[in-house]
Every structure is written in structure tokens, then in C-alpha cells.
Amino acid sequence: MNTDSSTQDTTVDVAIIGAGPSGAVAAALLRKAGRSVLVLERQHFPRFSVGESLLPQSMAYLEEAGMLQAVVEVGFQYKNGAHFIYRDQSSSFDFRDKHSPGWGTTYQVERAVFDDLLIRCAADQGAEVRFGHTVQAMQTGTAPVLDVIDEAGVAYRVQARFVLDASGFGRVLPRLLNLEAPTRMPTRAAVFTHVRDGIPAGGTDRNKICVATHPEHRNVWFWMIPLAGGRSSVGCVAEASFLEGPEDERDAKLRALIQQEPTLNRLIGEAPFLMPVRHIGGYSANVERLHGPGYALLGNAGEFLDPVFSSGVTIALRSAHLAVQTLERRFNGETLDWQAEYDVPLRKGIDTFRAFVERWYTGELQDIIFYPHKTPQIARFISAVLAGYAWDESNPYVADPVRRLNALHEVCKGA
């Protein structure tokens, strides 16, 4: 892998903070454009990350970044849709049957393997990657400067023409530059693990993520994401107070919750946990702007909504693609309004997902999803958004998601 542990002061076209999916794809796209790129990553890869279920929209960005063949050849679990369960109701969406053109299939991945693969692809294309290097400060402006320290405590500086923050939940620049803004999403948390599922052939559709609503609490839901090799990722999301408890009781807490949902209890109720149950809370975040003098924020470093529709990686890759397009125009001499060219277009899709997420927790979207008489065209509109095509404004549920979803819910409720 083409990495460098140098601690000398460095000058580069673009410095990228974070080696996750958005950082890796941005680095690869910039290298294809002939730009010098330095990726600074605090951790060492491979490392565990949650968010294993990709959306088909992501595939176009992986293909453009020259990573698709490597992803396909790993042997990740194939994915073609989503299956929803609530008590005795169920509803499936096949992402190949959708309104928007483009990929209808993708993969369910172990993120430690997936993220490591992507950054290796970026390094193979000439990006310099430094693991174990932490950004401590930034001077913004037309020639931004990063203060960096390595694991040995050696400090150095990186001067760049531009900085992309792809630090995910680390949210490096929002923290260093005081960019945080209130999120409109309630404080929720998740507990999760991997299991050896042992599901017999035909026991469930391994090509779809399973999203199950708790039979007694409609704002509590579970994911089951079949992975390759007979493993599954399983977790529960709820308001933080619902999942509170001592750390040493998390395994028992998640086990009891799984056993309260009949389908999951049948499939994995006693399946052995392959790692201690993990907890993540307060993950919803926002900023006032996704850019500033000499920098832009990618993916979760800017805004994260909720895991329910697996939108995180798709938003991350969309942001990387859009930021590189905008940055290349700037490098080529155009005068750009980053608010109009990057912030507003990216937030359009985020706001589409937000409308769906908010109505999931009120129960309105659940009423729509489980409505038994959806017309094929309505189902294709909804399927397209669930497949990640949240920027396709030929879909009325993207062009005007709040009004359209509210009207559709009234129809379903009235019926």
C-alpha cells in the first residue's frame, strides 16, 4: 500500500482529513484529475465501523473512482432491496424495480474490509496516505494550513490549496472551527453486534436488509443485515433513554430486545454474538454550512441523520463526488459560489432522506410502507429513494418530499 509516515512539512493540492469512504473516493477522483493528494487518518486500518448496508446509488461513485472491480471481487453479500416487518405485516422493495435509472443492486459489507479496500485503491492511484496522524488545528483561507501530529508526538504542517474534511463521526473541522449547529433529529442511540446467524437456506432473503419495528414501540426498530460467510449485523435503534444501562448488561439487553420481535427471534434469537455489543449515541449532527474559506465538509463530518435507511455512505460518496467536481472547476479558474454549487445541491438529497426519516419515527412512513394496496408507480417512487436516488427530482417524492409524503399518508390512512 502506498502510504507514507513522513513528518516533514508538506505542500499538496488537496489535504483530506479521514480515510473512510468519502475520503478514499475523493482522493481517487482527485488523482484521476491529476491533483496531488494527502490523506491524514488518525486511526489504523482495518478498523471496525458500523453502517454495513450500502445503497445502489453508491455504485456509480465507486465505479467512477475506479474501485468497483475491487469491491465486486471481494465477495461481499449481494443486496437488491429492503424487507420491512411490523408484527404480522411485511413489505419488500426490490431496488431493481424503481423509478430512477441507475444501479439497482449493491452489497452488504463488513466495513473494516470495505473501508480498507477503498483507501488501498486510492493509494494505488497515487494518493499519499498517512495513518496514525491527527489534525490538531487549521488556519483557514486561500492557502489553508493544517497542524498535524503523529503517534510519536512529532508535529508538522501541511499547506494545501484546499482541505476536505472526511473525518466522519470524528467531525474534525466542525470541532476545531466551532461549526456545529443544532440538529433537528432527536437524540437516539443504537446497540449492535455481529452474530453467527445459522439461518437455513430460504429462511430469509439474504439479498435484502431486514428492518423490523418493535411490536410494542413503533419508534424502536431493529436491523438485520446478512453478511457473507453466515454472519449478520444486528442492532436496535431507539431514543437514548430506552437503551440506557450498564455497559456490562448490553449483551443481555440486546438479546432480550431481539427476542421481543417474533421474526428476529425466530431467525437469530439464540445466535451467538461474535463480539461484545457496541453502543453509539448522539450521532445525529449538523452544521450551519458545509464549506468555508479553503475547506468543505464531506459526509458525516457535515451532517448525519439516522441509520434507518442506510443513507450514510451514499451521502458520503455523493458529497465526495460533488465536492471534487466543484473543486476542479475552481482549480481550472472558475469563480464559484460554494453555497450554490455544493451546499444547496447536497442538502437537497439530505432533506429528502430527512423527510423519510422523520415520518418513519412518527409512524406515517410505516403506514405507507405497510399499506397493502400501493400502486406499482408509487412503489417505484418510494423504492428509488430507498435505493439512494434522493437527488433525482424527476421523482415527485424527491422534488417535494414533505408535501407528497403527507398527501400519500392521508390516502393510506383514509383507506
The pLDDT of residue 413 is above 60: yes
The pLDDT of residue 69 is above 80: yes
Q: What is the reported pLDDT for 195?
A: 96
Q: What are phi and psi of 247, to 5 degrees?
A: -60, -35
- Which residue from 113, 111, 121, 142 is spatially nearest to 27, judged by alpha carbons? 121
Q: Are 50 and 190 in contact (CB under 8 A)?
A: yes
Q: What is the mean pLDDT of residues 333-360?
A: 95
**Which residue range forms the structural domain that includes residue 371?**
362-414
Residue 20 lies in a domain: yes
CATH number at residue 73: 3.50.50.60
CATH number at residue 195: 3.30.9.100
Residue 321 lies in a domain: yes
Report residue 3's pLDDT band, with 50, 70 and 90 as the boundaries: low
Q: What are phi and psi of 170, to 5 degrees?
A: -65, -30
Q: What is the pTM of this model?
A: 0.95
Report residue 202's pLDDT band, with 50, 70 and 90 as the boundaries: confident
Residue 95 lies in a domain: no
First vs last C-alpha separation in the chain: 58
The pLDDT of residue 163 is above 90: yes
How many structural domains compose the chain?
Answer: 3
Q: What is the reported pLDDT for 181?
A: 80
- CA torsion 342-171-389-218 (nearest 10°) is -140
- Decide: helix, strand or coil at residue 44: coil
User: 52-62: per-residue pLDDT in tens?
Assistant: 999 999 999 99
Residue 206 lies in a domain: yes
Q: Are 4 and 129 in contact (CB under 8 A)?
A: yes
Residue 379 lies in a domain: yes
Q: Residue 39, class by beta-carbon neighbours within 10 Å (0-12 exposed, 13-18 middle, 19+ buried)?
A: buried
Q: What is the reported pLDDT for 5?
A: 56
The pLDDT of residue 399 is above 90: yes
Q: What is the reported pLDDT for 328?
A: 97
- Which cell numbers hold the place of 388? 439512494
Do 124 and 229 have their domain in common? no
Q: Which of 137-146, 178-187, 342-351 shows the lowest per-residue confidence on average (mean pLDDT)?
A: 178-187
Do 129 and 59 have their domain in common? yes
User: 9-33: per-residue pLDDT in tens?
Assistant: 999 999 999 999 999 999 999 999 9
Q: What is the mean pLDDT of residues 33-48?
A: 97
Q: At a CB cut-off of 8 Å and minimum separation 6, what does 216 contact?
A: 260
Euclidean distance between CA atoms 325 and 29, whole angstroms: 9
Do 249 and 298 have their domain in common? no
Do 157 and 301 have their domain in common? yes
User: 271-303: per-residue pLDDT in tens?
Assistant: 999 999 999 987 767 788 899 999 999 998 887
Q: What is the mean pLDDT of residues 181-191?
A: 82
